[in-house]
Amino acid sequence: MRLRETLNLPLSARDVPAMYADGDYTAIRRDVLRASSAESTVEGGSSGAFTVRTELALPTDRVPDIVRPFVGSSVTVREQQSWSVPEEDGSRRGELALEVAGTPASMKATLTLSPAGETSSTVEIAGDLVAKVPLLGARMEKAAVPYVAQVLRAEERAATTYRDSHSG
């Protein structure tokens, strides 16, 4: 099922990649998402092309009812963000891959980081959420889209916390 989200981040397009590559940001996301654990690794430097792999153990208390039989009290989400080198204005293109371990759910998306002023930027996410379950897949996808969108939008809160804790 198609999913589109626009995240409004309180950091410049030049500062967002450094945030994504910072281990402090992983810890902030863990807290914002109420994850029991979060770990990340970075390949490359945020000034050029780079990839961030993150693994989060998320609670399932807010997942749709139709999904509950496939998950326990938590799920492990593996996320990979691969970013291109920056353009002159700081904008970048990227790819996002999400996998929910032990379930038939995954998502692939394109990412577009764009400046939205000197101290803000947007990240456009456009992709497909897929649940490979015979007969129920389409219903599961439809039910899961609002949950996944909510998890993605939590990045706005995490970015605000990151900015506030790293300013001045």
Q: Which two tokens stand for residue 52?
A: 């961030």
Q: What is the DSSP letter of 167?
A: -
| Tokens 């989400």, residue located | 77
Q: What is the per-residue pLDDT across 24-64, written as a single tens digit (0 to 9) for each?
A: 999 999 999 999 999 999 999 999 999 999 999 988 777 66
User: For all residues of the chain together, what is the average pLDDT?
Assistant: 89
Flag whether pLDDT at 100 surpasses 90. Answer: no
Query: Which residue's structure tokens are 């792999």?
Result: 53
| DSSP code, position 70 | G
With beta carbons less than 8 A apart as the criterion, state whether 122 and 6 touch: yes
Judged against a pLDDT cut of 70, whether residue 135 lies above it is answered with no
User: What burial letters (b/e) apply to 120-145, b meaning 16+ CB within 10 Å?
Assistant: bbbbebebebbbebeeeeeebbebbb
pLDDT, average across residues 118-129: 95
CATH of domain 2-166: 3.30.530.20
